[in-house]
Amino acid sequence: MKVVNAEGKVLGRLASEVAQIAEEEEVAVVNSEHAVISGDEQEIKEEYQTKYERGRRDTGPYYPKRADKILKRTVRNMLPYKESDGREQFSNVKTYLGLPERMEDQVEESQAKTGDSLKHRNYVKLGEVSDFIGGGEQ
């Protein structure tokens, strides 16, 4: 199992990298709440609020509130999850809030671009977006 640290990594680039790894082996993403989304903070928060409010839990379409589940959903969208191979690949993806003790010595750094290396450094953390739409404590 490969363990990837999401801290400070751009969400889309990280999700793409995780999807590629999931094709071959199991992958765990830790510190999901510290991944960043590039762009204007208010616009991002409103976009994710709209995604969440679009459906209801019992009738759908369901969109998660927790940061780790949002990251997993982003990875899912980069896999052919409606096909059997894609479902198998998606089952290889695990996401976590924080860093579980059992994984502390296995963490590898991702090659994805960090929020600090963005041209204008205009970004918001996934945990903040999650709190904004009601995801609770991170």
Give the number of domains in the chain: 1
What is the tens place of the pLDDT at every residue in 47-85?
Answer: 999 988 888 778 878 889 999 999 999 999 999 999 999
pTM of the model: 0.86
Buried b (16+ CB within 10 A) or exposed e, 32-49: bbbbbbbeeeeebbeebe
* 59 falls within a domain: yes
What is the tens place of the pLDDT at every residue in 82-127?
Answer: 999 999 999 999 999 988 878 777 777 776 666 566 666 788 999 9
* 137 falls within a domain: no
- Radius of gyration over every alpha carbon of the chain, rounded to an integer in angstroms: 15
* 111 falls within a domain: yes
Rounded-to-integer distance, Cα 5 and Cα 93, Å: 13
Report the CATH number at residue 109. Answer: 3.90.1180.10
Domain that holds residue 22: 2-132
* 106 falls within a domain: yes
* Mean per-residue pLDDT, 21-33: 93
| Nearest residue to 47 via CA among 138, 126, 110, 137 | 126
* 25 falls within a domain: yes
